[in-house]
Amino acid sequence: MKASEIMTKNPVCCWPSSSTLSAALLMQETDTGIVRVIQDPFTPRLVGVATDRDLCLYVVASARDPSSSWVDGCMTRDPVSCTEQDDVSLALDLMKTHQVRHLPVVNEKHEVVGMLSLGDLVRKAGIEASVIAAVLQSICQPAHGPKQPIERIITAA
Average pLDDT per 10 consecutive residues for the chain, totaling 157 residues: 93 95 96 94 94 95 95 96 95 92 95 92 79 82 60 44
CB neighbour list of residue 11: distance below 8 Å, 6 or more residues apart: 32, 35, 36, 104, 112, 114, 115
User: Would the pTM of this model clear 0.75, i.e. be above it?
Assistant: yes
* pLDDT for 156: 43
* pLDDT for 144: 62
- How is domain 3-139 classified at the CATH fold level? CBS-domain (3.10.580)
* pLDDT for 146: 57
Instruction: Give the whole-angstrom CA distance, residue 110 versus residue 36.
Output: 12
Instruction: Give the whole-angstrom CA distance, residue 74 versus residue 16.
Output: 9
Residue 142's Cβ-side half-sphere holds a number of Cα atoms within 13 Å equal to 4
**CA-based nearest residue to 35, from 142, 47, 43:** 47
